[in-house]
Amino acid sequence: MFLGMPPSRWWILIVSRLWLNAGVRLAYPFLPTIARGLNVSMEQAGLLVAARSFVGLAGIVFGLLTEKKGEKLGLLLGLSFFSIGALGVGFHSSYTWVLFGFILTGLAHAAYNPSVQSYVSAHVSYALRARALGLLESSWSASWFVGVPIGGFLIARFGWHTPYLALGVIGMVLVLITSGLPSPPEPHQTKLSSFPPSWVNLKPTPCRKARPTPVVMERVMAYGPAASTGRRRLWLALAVTFFTLFANESLMIVYGAWMEFRFAVGINFLGLLSMFIGVMELAAELSVALMVDRLGKKRALAAGLLGAAACYAALFAVQKSLPLAITVFGAIAYFFEFTVVSSFPYMSELDPNARKRWLSANYSLMVAGRVGGALAGPWLWEHTHTLYGHIGLSFAATLVAFGFLRLAPNPDRKPPEKSCPCGSSSPSLPY
């Protein structure tokens, strides 16, 4: 067993996630090739990616569905949507059919990503969950190093359809393999029998004169991160996600245009820079796996946000130096990815009995943040052709996210134990 599951099961989940991520990342460097293949403008080709991203807002719908039917349904739906969508892109040259295929691949991620995070979380204790989810999320950066070179080779040899045909066929194989996975264990429900007998049948001591009242027992039954902090505060964690994604997307969506405008770099240079950013993302995902469980999930989120804010501010001072600008953009990629991946184990424990719902809502807010940033960033660039507005917007949005995080629940906290004068230990009930 490795982190609560057999290694073979880990391989199935990681390869499936890598395959889905490769389908997403493939479109970005080869979008001009796809546009030429469909005989459409770049603007129309961009709508394919925008539509795929927008349908990710349906993540919360899949969360409610899998909350009733289980995570395995979300895994199978995601892989099925992806396979059908990829095959639709690969077999058709009609713009309408390709648009439909891109929409299906967007729905695939909305169904699969929160489900696989919840599936892993159900098997792994909270103390080791950042290690497990950090390992799983490394498939995002790995998909760039695996999917893009292979996709480029297939496009050069056989045409732009071929990578999508390969994605669809192997996706169908993954559907069959995933159907053999066992359902995850149900989240621990807080029941009377789960508490030590001393909590239920308290005998009189110098510190405890009588049995607990029904009100006290109700509070014992309600103990948990969500109950002790108030369910309404959980929404603050989703605000952290939205503003974090908005801050990064509004800047990073124009960094290539700024590099070309400011330093007159070419496409080859931007490709190398993208590879460097991919390396920094992988380093961040591995950092989450190695550090966050010991550091604490909420504390790691705070560190990531403060690091990203510092990097946004540093852009003010490095806009005349290409090496320094590259370094800062790499650091932004690191802290952003560190923050996002740290948010998954954090969100997974805010309300364990409704984990699927909150992880799906978190995914939907990620999409909403990206969409908002994708609209704001180009608009600012068209009106200013400088990064100053983007830097200010990203810095402010990150500080807003940090402010919401300060008010959000902290599932890392343990209930304190109080000692009574008679020498026995008295449990601290959440009054």
pTM, entire model: 0.83
Q: Give the C-alpha separation, 181 to 178, whole Å.
A: 5
**Residue found under tokens 């590259």:** 326
What is the predicted pLDDT for the residue at 230? 52
What is the predicted pLDDT for the residue at 187? 61
What is the predicted pLDDT for the residue at 260? 86
Q: Which two tokens stand for residue 417?
A: 């134990």
**Residue found under tokens 């370094």:** 327
Mind listing the pLDDT tens digit of every residue in the chain (431 residues)?
888 899 999 999 999 999 999 998 888 778 888 888 999 887 788 888 889 989 999 898 999 898 889 999 999 999 999 999 999 999 988 999 999 999 999 999 999 999 999 999 999 999 999 999 999 999 998 998 888 889 889 988 998 899 999 999 999 999 999 999 998 887 654 443 333 443 344 444 444 444 444 434 334 434 444 444 456 678 899 999 999 999 999 999 888 889 888 998 887 787 788 889 989 999 999 999 999 999 999 999 999 999 999 999 999 999 999 999 999 999 999 999 999 999 999 999 999 888 999 999 999 999 999 989 988 898 898 888 899 999 999 999 999 999 999 999 999 875 544 444 444 444 433 32
Q: Give the C-alpha separation, 360 to 57, whole Å.
A: 9
Residue 353: CB partners within 8 Å, gap ≥ 6?
187, 189, 190, 224, 226
List of domains in the chain: 7-178 (1.20.1250.20), 230-407 (1.20.1250.20)
Phi and psi dihedrals of 339, rounded to 5?
A: -65, -45
Residue 77: CB partners within 8 Å, gap ≥ 6?
62, 108, 111, 112
What is the predicted pLDDT for the residue at 109? 95
What is the predicted pLDDT for the residue at 200? 40
Q: Give the C-alpha separation, 177 to 349, whole Å.
A: 29
DSSP annotation string for 392-412:
HHHHHHHHHHHHHHHHS--TT
Nearest to 279 by CA among 144, 134, 370: 144
Q: Give the C-alpha separation, 81 to 304, whole Å.
A: 33
Q: Give the C-alpha separation, 42 to 2, whole Å.
A: 46
3-state secondary structure of 159: coil
Structural Rg of the chain based on CA atoms = 24
